[in-house]
A = this chain, B = another copy of it.
Amino acid sequence: MEKNRLEAFSDGVIAIIITIMVLELHVPQGTDLSALKELCPVFLSYVLSFIYVGIYWNNHHHMFQAVERVSGGILWANLHLLFWLSLFPFATGWVGENHLAATPVAVYGFVLLMAGTAYKILQQTIIARQGRDSVLARAVGGDWKGILSPLCYLAAIPLAFVNVSISISLYVFVALLWLVPDRRIERVLEKEN
C-alpha cells in the first residue's frame, strides 16, 4: 500500500481539528474591548492547542518521509493518533471556558499524554515493520524529548489540583521543546546520500 492516501487523509483530519478549535471562540455579545478580554483564556488555550496540533502535523510530516509503504497496522496506529488529536477541540474548549479550572486542565494534560503515547505507538509500529536498521530507527535513537514529554504530562495532571499555573507552565514548556522542528530524520537521510 502506498502512503499518499494515508498522508492526505491525516492532513485532512488535522486541518479540520486545527480549524474546528476556533469555533470555541464564540462571537461575543458586547461590542467593546472588555468583551474581547473575557475571551482571553479561550484565546490563549486556542493558541496553545494550535501550536500543539502544528507540532504533531510537522512531526507526522517528518516521520512519514522516512516511510515507503504502509501496512494495516500503520493505518490503525495512525487512526488511533488522529482519535486523540480529535479530542483537542473538546479539551481546549473546556479549559478555556472555565477560566482554567483544575479538572479541565488535568483532562487537557491527559489528552496530551494519550496523543503523545499514540504518536509513540505509531513510531514503533513503523520501526517494527522497517527493521531496527531503518532510517527512522536510527534517527529516533536516544529520544530524550519523547521520554521527557510524557513525564511532564504525568506530573502536570495531579499538579493541576495543587496549582493550575504549574501544569500550564509544563504544557507550555513541552510545546517549546518541540517547536524546534525535528531535524534528526533529515540529518540521517542527508548522511545516507
Contact segment of A12-20, A130-138, A143-151, A169-177: A12-20
Question: Are A13 and B15 closer than 8 Å at their CB atoms?
Answer: yes
Question: Are B58 and A27 closer than 8 Å at their CB atoms?
Answer: no
From known contacts A36-B107, A61-B5, A103-B31, infer whether A19 and B17 are also in contact, taking CB-CB under 8 Å. Answer: yes
Identical copies in the complex: 4
Question: Are B22 and A12 closer than 8 Å at their CB atoms?
Answer: no
Complex CA distance for A89 and B46, rounded to whole angstroms? 14
A contact residues, total (Cβ < 8 Å): 60
Contact with B along A19-58 (1 / 0, CB 8 A): 1101111011001110110000000000100100010011
A79 cross-chain contacts in B, Cβ below 8 A: 50, 54, 57-58
Question: Are A31 and B104 closer than 8 Å at their CB atoms?
Answer: yes
A5 cross-chain contacts in B, Cβ below 8 A: 7, 11, 61
A107 cross-chain contacts in B, Cβ below 8 A: 36
Scoring A17, A36, A72 by chain B CB atoms within 10 A of each residue's CB, the highest score goes to: A72
A7: shortest Cβ distance to chain B, in Å? 6
Question: Are A15 and B12 closer than 8 Å at their CB atoms?
Answer: yes
Contact with A86, one of B19, B61, B76, B97 (Cβ below 8 angstroms): B19
A67: shortest Cβ distance to chain B, in Å? 12
Question: Are A103 and B58 closer than 8 Å at their CB atoms?
Answer: no
A4: shortest Cβ distance to chain B, in Å? 9
A28: shortest Cβ distance to chain B, in Å? 7
A38: shortest Cβ distance to chain B, in Å? 13
Scoring A7, A9, A54, A180 by chain B CB atoms within 10 A of each residue's CB, the highest score goes to: A9
Per CB-CB distance, the 9 closest pairs between chain A and chain B, nearest first, are A72-B181, A12-B15, A31-B101, A27-B93, A16-B19, A54-B79, A13-B15, A9-B11, A31-B98
